[in-house]
Chains A and B, each alone.
Chain A
């Protein structure tokens, strides 16, 4: 069975610092991987997705993630945090097929200090 683990329910960084949000998955076959962001009082929005093409995936708002099969990881990074990045971030994994197979992590809340 597939599963996804997000390390750290809350991450705090200073404005301008590197953002690193961790996601590990368990899957017996190459998965589809996603990062979604949820701003306060809003629904989720797709940041980026990995679907077996390039292992380094670039998304919106300067975020990127690297698929590392050997580490079963798909960590999200951004070189320089902005105050507007404060939100909750969700990693999700699927083995394919329908959206019914999409499993979300518990989320990581990112705070950005001035």
Chain B
């Protein structure tokens, strides 16, 4: 596999379920990101990890819990979500978190909360 991969591509979950999204990058990058993309809204940055350390948490509700065990993997653990959390969740990576570096995005996980 090359680039940034995300699994699953589609996920339907009830509000009481617990699930996890997985992201893996094969680019040797040191920074990884979670974004939320909702219809008619700007892309929202959720979390930033740089060299496995969380450097940004944009006031994300605690029902979203990120985990970065190493520079190649990033998880987003989900529990007791709300219907308004339905969205496309994008993972990205870059060489490091300097803004001049290009971000490489995965294809996203389409999440539906019922």
Chain A interface residues (CB < 8 Å from chain B): 9, 32, 41-46, 49, 51, 90, 94, 96-107
Chain B, interface size: which category? Answer: 20 to 34
* Interface contact A90-B99, CB-CB below 8 Å: no
Chain B interface residues (CB < 8 Å from chain A): 4, 31, 33, 40-43, 45, 48, 50, 55-56, 58, 90-92, 94, 97-103, 105-108
* Interface contact B103-A96, CB-CB below 8 Å: no
User: How many residue pairs bridge A and B at CB < 8 Å?
Assistant: 67
* Interface contact A32-B106, CB-CB below 8 Å: no
Q: Which residue of B lies closest to A45 (CB)?
A: B105
* Interface contact A49-B105, CB-CB below 8 Å: no
CA distance A9 to B42 in the complex (A): 11
Interface of A is mostly: mixed
Can you offer 20 A-B residue contacts whose CB atoms are under 8 A?
A32-B100, A41-B107, A42-B105, A43-B92, A43-B105, A44-B90, A44-B103, A45-B105, A49-B102, A51-B100, A98-B48, A98-B50, A98-B97, A99-B31, A99-B45, A99-B103, A101-B99, A102-B99, A106-B40, A106-B42
